[in-house]
Amino acid sequence: MLTAVLLFLPLAAALLLLLTKGATARALALGASLIEFGLAVYTAFAFKNSGAAGFDLNYSWIPSAGINFHLGLDGLSLLLVLLTTFLVPLILLSAFKRDFDNPTAFYALVLFMQTGLLGVFTSLDAFLFYFFWEVALIPIYFLAGAWGGERRVAITLKFFLYTVVGSLLMLAGFVYLYLQTGPAAGSLAAHSSELSAFYSLKLSAAEQSWLFWLIFAAFAVKMPIFPFHTWQPDTYTDAPAPATMLLSGIMLKMGIYGTMRWLLPVVPLGVSQWQKPVIILSVIGIIYGAIIAIRQRDVKRLIAYSSLSHVGLMAAGVFSLTATGLQGTVVQMLAHGVNVVGMFFIADAIERRTGTRYIPDLGGLTRRTPVLSVCFLVMLLSTVALPLTGGFVGEFLLLAGVYQYNAWVGAVAGLTIIFSAVYLLRMFQRVMLGPDSAFSETITDLTGSELLVLVPLIALVFWIGLFPNSFLHLAEPAVASILEVVARGR
Amino acid sequence: MTSIILLSVFGIVNLFLGFLRSNKVLLPGAMLLLLAVFGANYADWNSEPASYFNHMLVVDHYTVAFTGIVLLTAIVLLPFSRSYVVSGEPNLAEYYALLLFSLVGAIMMIGYDHLLMLFVGIEILSISMYVLAGSSKRDSRSNEAALKYFLMGAFATGILLFGVALLYGATGTFALSQLAAAVAAPANASLQPMLYIGILMMIIGIGFKVSAAPFHFWTPDVYEGTPTFFTAFMSTVVKTAGFAAFLKLLAVALPAAQGFWMPTIQAMCALTLLLGNVGAAAQDSPKRMLAYSSVSHAGYLLIGLVASKGVLKGEAASAIFFYSLAYSIATVASFGVLKLVNDHRQNDSYAGLNGLGRTNPLLAFVMTVAMLSLAGIPLTGGFFGKFFLLAAAVGQGYIGLVVFAVIMSMVGLYYYLRPLIAMYLRPADENATPVPVDGIQSATLVVLALLTIILGIAPGFLSGLL
């Protein structure tokens, strides 16, 4: 029951929101998302950690086709639910300062999307998963399209086509798997789309080989890993800041989560066939993203490419198929979510004050904005993976995992830390320090409400960095059970 | 059966209502009559399957279910004829009467058990449509549409009738059950070629009515010229009835000739998907896009015919039923919005929809739901329609066709997004005023959007109906 409330509360709030206007809508949206976060925290305390899914909720959804409305939470799902419910209030809060038309629709769409995201992270039925996967996509299309920058029409169309084509391929894969379950009877009701039914399928290596790409297409686009990433920098740059935070902070995790839950254990033989190419692609993405980031002169674009680089490492960690790598991915999903949301928030704060994101136009901002500088630096150093920050724990485990897979690949992947230090510190130096610019005298420091967004983020950065075990112990049994299914299938 | 009788009587009643010289009575009148017929049809659901007119017409679950779609479509469509009421259209009573009569034809096409009944049904439906296509007498495009539709339709009817005759020649019967037996065990093997030519001609005739490629070429021009209200009727009722008839013909009468019609239908299906989707992507007016999109939906429904493999009961028939319902609802919604916007803005290119999200959020929302449903995005009935069809086809092993259909629906995404882009992402003209929508129209649109979403969230209660 708790799971259902958790899932549908944002949706109900979104519908309610449409009846209200202005400040009421704003307060209602924030209130609902905070209650939602409270619920998620309560769930985390009530959660009994074992490998299996808890908080099970299973209704027959389409009986004539054997499809169930099946939700459940294990440690992995729970962490992502926590991340989502934690970030959404902050993202809503970050939109308060923005001056845009029809804010009611904006907040309603964000809440609507939250339901989609939570559905993705808790579904235990393939069609339900696909259903929520697409549900999460519709609001972001409108969020990015309606409130975005100048080139929004072309860019959101590209984004939408990319992701939907990926999703359709995944659906085709799921339908194939679904028809392999149960007896080969004529009726659809004889089949099952349960995750567990998919796990126990015995498929030949050849089948798994192409199924791998059908299913992986959707995840690869959404993360995105090289070379499926071409929508990402444009969309991140042109979408309004809150939408970018949703995309990079949470939506990207759908891809990684999907890979862990719906790809590795379902087609383990396909994974072992394609493990090497995918890891190589990921490592190319790491280096490629980093090198391009060095050349960027737009703050948002730089962060977008940096995110591409960091996602590459997460993908490599997942495909290393080691417990360390997967654990690292889980922690890094949280840390990256927090970091990237913080970075985009700060980039947006600077842009709102100066009207530009162009790095050469900025400079010498730090004198008038000590608080902003400190916050920026913390977020930045966590992204660079400085010890004691969340980024460090994640990247360390990831690199250790990739190293276990292959020392050379690990060494190349490790370059990400050096590169990100290069481009991020350079950006900091140019924007915050450096020679004075037109804005150095006029810029104002962070306001209280902006700190309300950043302080929780910073707190979490240090929490993950100092006490990673509070998250690792949640992820451990889930990761172990995923790897066990993978090992059984190989 | 009650529904046929009621519709015929009500059609005449409607003509008499026309004598009152007050259009205001007509719309609520026709609406009430249709609701009564819908109720009567529903009452038939629980009764035993019955046969009428010397076993020429059968009323069973299949007939009742598809009749339900057709009647529902007509009911939700009627409110959009308001502009005729307001403008004092002199022939409104005749239009409504023709609509009611055409529904009789549609029901006969759905419930036929005898080829002559099928033919009579098709003709009743088609002749009404020829007239309605030209109902905008002072518009030359409407005249052209009517003439084109009539000439092509008459031609197709001739072919269909010829096919029926050849089938009779080869088997000696018009009754579906006897046809099936005669096709399975022919008394005279030398008549086999005649049988096959007959089947082919019937496929061509019905293929024309449901606008399946390569017999779809009339569709865009006729849809464009016909007044939008009747276009919506044409693209939903005619298609639903046509496919119900098509499925019955193949599954009840001709399962034994499957080796012959299966490759034909498959080829038609692939071609229809290709021409419909690629054609729609190339259009510059939403109305023509919807015309081509209706061709592409004929392609998806043809997948259902392929997957049926000559079985009337079961997954494929249910899938066709569900798809027709979801398609009809979404199509009525999109044509409804389009009609309201075009009546007001007088611009039938995509630019006519610009900024609708700002001036009329409700219309834009309904249009969005309809487009997402036609594109097959989850949360809408269209998604499950496609899902059931494709799953049935995969279950029967037609992987290649399904892969092609999936690729084609990716093309579909492109053109179904264009109205959305216009409505939300492009600014309206500076002097654009909100499109006037009255209470019953907005209520209908909301109902249509809700139905689409309900079908997309809880398809279970209808998916296993047949």
Query: B376: nearest CA in chain A?
Result: A168
A52 vs chain B: nearest CA distance in angstroms? 28
Nearest-by-Cβ selection for B425 from A63, A135, A145:
A145
- Convert the pLDDT of each residue in B223-246 to its tens digit: 999 999 999 999 999 999 999 999
Q: What is the pLDDT of residues B409-448, one digit of tens each?
A: 888 888 998 899 888 888 887 778 888 888 889 999 999 9
Per CB-CB distance under 8 Å, the chain A contacts of B390 are: 175
**CB distance A175–B318 less than 8 Å?**
no
What does the pLDDT read at residue A185? 62
**What residues are paired with B112 via a beta bridge?**
B57
Chain B residues within 8 A of A168 when measuring between CB atoms: 406, 409-410
SS3 content of chain A, % helix, strand, coil (to 5): 75, 5, 20
Q: Chain A to chain B, count of Cβ pairs less than 8 Å apart?
A: 84
Average pLDDT, whole number, for chain A? 88
Determine whether the interchain pair A63/B425 forms a contact, defined as Cβ–Cβ distance below 8 Å: no
Give the pLDDT of residue A319.
92
Surface-to-core class of residue B278, CB atoms within 10 Å of its CB (0-12 exposed, 13-18 middle, 19+ buried) = middle
Closest chain B residue to A102, measured at CA: B358
**pLDDT tens, A288-342?**
999 999 988 899 999 999 999 999 999 999 999 999 999 999 999 999 999 999 9
Indicate the Cα dihedral angle A309, A310, A315, A319, nearest 10°. 110
Nearest to A209 by CA among A273, A260, A276, A263: A273
- The residue among A8, A62, A125 with the most chain B CBs within 10 A of its CB, best to mutate, is A62
| Chain B touched by A183 (CB under 8 Å) | no
Residue pLDDT, tens place only, A407-457: 999 999 888 888 999 999 999 988 888 788 888 788 888 888 889 999 999
Q: Angle A126-135/A152-180 helices, nearest 10 degrees?
A: 170
Please tell me if residue B404 touches chain A, with a CB cutoff of 8 Å: no
Whether the CB of B392 is below 8 Å from some CB of chain A: the reply is: yes
Q: Is the pLDDT confidence value at B222 over 70?
A: yes
- Token pair, residue B105, equals 């034809």
- Say what the pTM is: 0.89
Query: Residue A186: its pLDDT value, please?
Result: 63
- Going by pLDDT thresholds of 50, 70 and 90, the confidence category of residue A378 is very high
Contact B391 A178 (CB under 8 A): yes
8 Å CB contact of A175 and B390: yes
Cβ proximity of B133 and B218 under 8 Å = no
Cα A54 from Cα A339, distance rounded (Å): 29
Residue-level pLDDT at A53:
62
Torsion, Cα of B123, B127, B129, B130 (10° steps):
130
Structure token pair of residue B224: 């464009």
How far apart are alpha carbons A460 and A380 in whole angstroms?
14
Helix (H, G, I), strand (E, B) or coil at A415: helix
Q: What is the mean pLDDT of chain B?
A: 90
Q: Which residue of B has its CA nearest to A136?
A: B378
**pLDDT tens for each residue of B176-185:** 989 999 988 8
Distance separating alpha carbons of residues B64 and B44, to the nearest angstrom: 7
What single letter denotes the amino acid at residue A251?
M
How close is the nearest chain B Cα to the Cα of A18, in Å? 12
Please state the rounded mean pLDDT for residues B28-38.
90
Contact at 8 Å (CB) between B145 and B224?
Answer: yes
Q: Which of A133, A157, A188 sits opposite B315 (nearest CB)?
A: A188
Residue A200 scores a pLDDT above 90: no
Specify whether the CB–CB gap between B72 and B103 falls below 8 A.
no
Which whole number is the average pLDDT over A197-211?
A: 88
Q: State yes or no: pLDDT of B194 exceeds 60.
A: yes
Distance from CA of B179 to the nearest CA of A (A): 26
Question: Are A161 and B409 inside 8 Å of each other by CB?
Answer: no
- CA-based nearest distance A142→chain B, Å: 8
Which residues of chain A neighbour B398 with C-beta distances below 8 Å?
none
pLDDT, tens digit, for every residue of B404-418? 998 898 888 889 988
Nearest residue of B to residue A152, measured between CA atoms: B425
Structure confidence at residue A52 as a pLDDT band (50, 70, 90):
low
Q: Over range B129-146, report the average pLDDT.
A: 89
Predicted pLDDT of residue A60: 85
List of long-range contacts for B310-314, beta carbons under 8 Å, 24+ apart: B310/B250, B310/B251, B310/B254, B310/B255, B310/B258, B311/B251, B311/B255, B312/B62, B312/B247, B312/B248, B312/B251, B312/B252, B313/B466, B314/A186, B314/A187, B314/B466
B6 contact A CB<8A: no
State the best of A15, A188, A211, A214 to mutate against chain B, taking most chain B CBs within 10 Å.
Answer: A188
| pLDDT attached to residue B139 | 85
Contact list in A for residue B464 (CB cut-off 8 A) is 63-64, 189
Question: Inter-chain contact A165–B410, Cβ cutoff 8 Å?
Answer: yes
- The gap from C-alpha B411 to its chain's centroid, in whole angstroms, comes to 22
* Three-state secondary-structure class, residue A67: strand
Distance from A6 to chain B by nearest Cα, in Å?
Answer: 18
Record the tokens describing residue A82, joined without a space: 């926590």
Residue in B383, B406, B463 closest to A65 by CB: B463
CA atoms within 13 A on the CB side of A260: 34
Contacts of B402 in chain A (CB under 8 A): 172
Distance from CA of B293 to the nearest CA of A (A): 18
Task: Name the pairing type of β-strands B57-59 and B50-52.
Answer: antiparallel
Q: Smallest Cα–Cα separation from A285: which of A239, A226, A355?
A: A226
Does A145 contact B at CB distance below 8 Å?
yes
Q: Which A residues, 34 through 63, put their C-beta within 8 Å of a C-beta on chain B?
A: 60-63
**Least confident range of A257-266, A395-404, B184-193, B339-348:** B184-193
Contact flag A64-B394 (C-beta cutoff 8 Å): no
Beta A54-62 vs B50-52: how paired, if at all?
Answer: unpaired
Chain A within 8 Å of B314 (Cβ-Cβ)? yes
| Both structure tokens of A311 | 């996602």
The answer to whether the beta carbons of residues A135 and A115 sit under 8 Å apart is yes
> pLDDT tens across A67-88, in order?
889 998 888 899 999 999 999 9
Cross-strand pairs, B175: B114
pLDDT on residue A145: 82
Residues of B in contact with A63 (CB under 8 A): 460, 464
Structure tokens of A424? 């991020």
B362 at the A interface (CB within 8 A)?
no
Determine the average pLDDT of the residues in A238-252: 89
Closest CA to A48 of A482, A478, A480: A478
- Residue A51 pLDDT more than 70? no
